[in-house]
Amino acid sequence: MKRHPSLAPLSRQHHPALILSQLLKKNAPAYKGMPTDIEGKILYATQFYNTDLVPHFADEEKVFEKLNNISPLLNTAIKEIVEEHVLLHKLFKDIPGQSDAVTYLDMLGHTLEKHIRKEDRELFPLIEQLVDEPTMISIEHLLNH
């Protein structure tokens, strides 16, 4: 499905995060140029979280502020996504010191994938359905500046 131009940058940022989610899962196939050992995966996940996911979540949450009280359904969906952001922040920060890193990263990979799929398949289509064009354009300006 073609994404509204205002949401397209956020949606495009999901692709590398989905690759990370797959990389973290148990028995993940080797990805060219990606770490295959647990220490490498931990380092990569932590770096990706800090450089990509933290700003991505912040951008999404700026967008969500513009969508406050457009509809109860949208408010509920956004609240769930923000709660998932809080959980994901905690999960990434808790990576160091896990006694069973393989199992922990597998759980994190599944959690991250589920979150991304929910945004792409449920939240973004709901935004496109319920939000008027001037607000969508304001989102585009917000993300491009």
28-53 pLDDT tens trace:
888 888 999 999 999 999 999 999 99
Binning pLDDT at 50, 70 and 90, where does residue 1 land? Answer: low
pLDDT at 27: 87
How is residue 76 written in tokens?
């509920």
- Please compute the mean of the pLDDT values over residues 88-94 and round it to a whole number: 98
- Please compute the mean of the pLDDT values over residues 61-89 and round it to a whole number: 97
B/e letters for 93-123, b = 16+ CB within 10 Å, e = fewer, are eebeeeeebeebbbbbbebbbebbeebbeeb
**What kind and span of H or E run contains 28?**
none
- Please compute the mean of the pLDDT values over residues 23-30 and round it to a whole number: 91
Residues 6+ apart with CB under 8 A from 74: 67, 126, 127, 130, 131
pLDDT at 18: 96
110 has a pLDDT exceeding 90: yes
145 has a pLDDT exceeding 80: no
Nearest of 96, 113, 119 to residue 20 by alpha carbon: 113
Average of per-residue pLDDT values in the chain? 95
Helix count and strand count (H, E) for the chain: 7, 0
